[in-house]
Chains A and B, each alone.
Chain A
Amino acid sequence: MTYISNITRPEKDPKVLSTGPSSLAAVDRLGRALGWFSIGLGLAELLAPRPITRALGVQGREDLVRAYGAREIGSGLLSLSLERKAGLWSRVAGNGLDIATLLSAYRPNNPKRDNVRLALLMVIGVSVLDIVGAQGTTIRHARRQDTWRNYRDRSGFPQGLTKARGVAASRSAEKPEKSAMA
C-alpha cells in the first residue's frame, strides 16, 4: 500500500517512508486471507468446472459448480469489504452446502470416492478456519450494548444552558461573512 500511495503522489509531495502500527489484528488478517481464498476458489469453479467434476466423479453437474463459484466470489467480496462479518458467516453457511453436496457424491459406486473424501476433509478444515475467523471478527468488532457512558454533564455551555439559548441570535449569524470578505 505504501508503494502505491507513493507512486500516486505528485512529484514534490512528501513520500511515506515508514508506516506506524496497523489496527489489523490476527483475526482481521485471517478474514482477509479467507476472502482472497474465496475469490480464487470461486474463479476456479466458475471458469473451470469440468476438471473439478471429473476429479470428484460427478460429471454433468458443471452448472452447480459454476453456481457455487459465483457464491464463493460473492462471499469473498463481502469478506474483503466493511461487511467482513457477513462475508465470513456466509462462507460458513456455504461450506455447509459444500459438505452436503460432497456427501451426496461420497457413494460406494463412485470411482473417485477417495478424491471426494479428500475434498471433504479440506472443506471441513477450511470451515474450522472460517468459524474461527467469523467468530473472532464478530467479537472484535462488537459494540457492548450493556455498558455506555452517560455524558449528560457535558453541555458545552460554560455559562449554562439557559444563558446559552439564543445568545447568538441577537447578532446575525451571517455577519462574519462581511469581515471575512473584507
Chain B
Amino acid sequence: MSNASAATSRSARPPIATSTWLRRFSVTQRRAFGYTHLTGGYPGGQAEYVRVPFADATHIKVPDSLTDEQVLFLGDIFPTGWQAAAQCEIEPTDTVAVWGCGPVGQMTIRSAILLGAKQVVAIDYLPERLSMAEAAGAITINFEEESVIERLNQLTSGKGPEKCIDAIGLESHVTFSKPDTIYDRAKQMFMLESDRPHVLREMIYVCRPAGVISIPGVYGGLVDKIPMGVAMNKGLTFRMGQTHVNRWTDDLLRRIENGEIDPSFVITHTVGLEKGPEMYKVFRDKQDSCVKVVLKP
C-alpha cells in the first residue's frame, strides 16, 4: 500500500476497474464488499479485522480534522444517496420525490437539497424517519395516513414530480392499505416473484412525463406487474445500478471538509461489535427509533 499511509486511511473502497468500458459501466458492479460473487465475492467489513484487496486503489486519505463518524459513510450510503440525486440531473424548478427515509433515503434527500431541487418530498411511515427528513427541509408524506399519489399531485399542481427516487428497493413495506404489496408478498412465498416492486409501480404512475426515475434501492431478481406501457408512453428515463463509490468520494470528502454536509447526523445508535446481531434485529423491526447503527470493535 503506497498511495496512502495506514494511519490516515480510514475509508476502504473496492478497487477501480481498469478498462474504459468498466470505468464507465461497472466500477462497483464488479467490485463491492459484502455482496455476492456477482460483485467480486469480497466478504463484508463488519469485523474486528478487514482484509482489503488492492489497498492502493481502495483508500482515500482522510484529513485529521474530520472524525471517523463524519467520513464513515463515504464508503457506501453517502455516495449512494448522492448518485441517486446526481443521476436525476436536478434542475432548480424540479420537485424530487424520495420514497424511503432510511439511511440511504436521508442521504438522498440532503443530496437533492445540495443539488438545488425546488422542493424535496420524503415518503415513509415511520415518524422518527420523517422527522429526520423534515430536518433537512423535505416535505413529508406518511403513506399510512394519506395517499401518496394525491399528495404528490397536490404539491405539483397535478403534474407529478419531475424526479422520483426509489430508496427502498425490493423490500417494500407490506400493508393492507397497499393491496399490491400483499399480492407481492404472497407471490414471494410461493417463489413466483423475488422482489416487491410497489414503489417502482407508484413512481411510474406518478412521475411527470419525460421525468427521471432513479433507483438506488436494491433489487435482486424478478418483479411482476410493472406498468411498462405507462413508463414507455410517458417517455420516462430510468437510472439505476450499484453505487460507483470511487467516482464520488473525492468530491464528497471535499464537501464534508467545506462544511456543506456532515453525514454523521444519521447515526442514532453506537454500540460495540458484540451487539451487532441484536442491533440487526432492532433495525429490522424498526425499534427504538433506530435509523443507523455504528458498530465500534
The answer to whether A22 and B136 have CB atoms under 8 Å apart is: no
Interface stretch of the complex, out of A108-116, A123-131, A162-170: A162-170
List 20 extra interface pairs beyond A164-B261, A166-B115, A168-B115, CB under 8 A: A14-B43, A14-B51, A20-B277, A148-B126, A148-B131, A150-B131, A151-B129, A152-B131, A155-B137, A156-B106, A156-B265, A161-B113, A161-B137, A164-B110, A164-B260, A168-B111, A175-B251, A179-B250, A180-B250, A181-B23
Asked if B23 contacts A152 (CB within 8 A), the reply is no
With an 8 Å Cβ cutoff, the count of chain B residues facing the other chain is 55
* Residue B241 interfacial (CB < 8 Å): no
What separation, in Å, do the CA atoms of A159 and B134 have in the docked complex?
17
Q: Which residue of A lies closest to B27 (CB)?
A: A180
Interface of chain A, main secondary structure: loop
8 closest A-B pairs by beta carbon, nearest first, are A169-B116, A166-B116, A156-B265, A23-B277, A149-B289, A151-B132, A173-B86, A176-B251
Q: How many residues of A sit at the interface, in one of the four size bands?
A: 35 or more
The verdict on A154 contacting B261 (CB below 8 Å), with A143-B286, A169-B115 known, is no
Q: Which label, helix, strand, loop or mixed, suits the secondary structure of the B interface?
A: helix
Complex: chain B residue closest to A158, CB-CB = B259
Interface string of A59-89 (1 = CB under 8 A from B): 0000000000000000001100101000000
In chain B between 268 and 292, which residues have their CB closer than 8 angstroms to a CB of chain A? 268, 273-274, 276-278, 280-281, 285-287, 289, 291
The answer to whether B250 and A159 have CB atoms under 8 Å apart is no
A153 interface residue per 8 A CB criterion: yes
Instruction: List B residues at the A interface (Cβ < 8 Å).
Output: 23, 41, 43, 51, 82, 85-86, 89-90, 92, 106, 110-111, 113-116, 126-129, 131-132, 134-137, 185, 189, 246-248, 250-251, 255, 259-263, 265-266, 268, 273-274, 276-278, 280-281, 285-287, 289, 291
Residues of chain B lying within 8 A (CB to CB) of residue A152: 131-132, 134-135
A182 to B270, CA, bound (A): 38
